Amino acid sequence: MADDCFVDVARANFRRTPGGVILGTVGRGQGFHTYDQLDDWYRGDLWGGERGVWMHWSVLGPPCGD
């Protein structure tokens, strides 16, 4: 499972673990390459930024957030 997704909300948090401490925030359109999933959470690398972070499906557009 590997997909390229984009943030689909005005501001989205990314975390080190699912539901864990917030590391930072990105805006709509930020690219996110996913390579792992745990329930409603996707793990991946932010394009041009942090690697190995988790984002909830509800802040991502298709194919991740559909």
Domain boundaries, given as residue ranges, for the chain: 3-59
In this predicted model, what pLDDT tens digit does every residue of 30-41 receive, in sequence order? 999 999 999 999
pTM of the model: 0.93
pLDDT band at 1; cut points 50, 70, 90: low
> Does 3-59 carry CATH code 2.30.30?
yes
Give the bridge partners for 12, in sequence order: 26
- The three state secondary structure string of 18-31 is CCCCEEEEEECCCE
Q: Tell me which residue of 28, 25, 24, 22 sits closest to 10, measured CA to CA.
A: 28
pLDDT higher than threshold 90 for residue 61: yes
Cα dist. 13→1, 28, 34 in Å? 22, 11, 15
